[in-house]
Amino acid sequence: MEWIYDRLKIEFEKAQELLDKLNELGKDGWEIIHYEEKKPEKFGGKTESIILIKKEKSCNQEKQS
């Protein structure tokens, strides 16, 4: 089995924004393999999350490479 990996930075104010983005990625076949979160430095700022994700490489993706 082969995998495709990606690293994303997601900034959000409310937890639901993050959850919506993660659910969207999950529908596309991505799986989180690592998650970090950095709280905002100033009150009212956005929280930053860094995620490492993977999904199975499909036959269509192999042909594009």
pTM: 0.77
Could you tell me the mean pLDDT of each successive run of 10 residues in the chain, 65 residues long? 96 95 96 96 92 87 49
Instruction: Report the pLDDT value the prediction gives residue 63, as an integer from 0 to 100.
Output: 43
Q: What pLDDT is recorded for position 65?
A: 45
pLDDT at position 14 is 93
Task: Kindly give, in sequence order, each residue whose CB lies less than 8 Å from that of residue 34, ignoring residues fewer than 6 positions away.
Answer: 51, 52
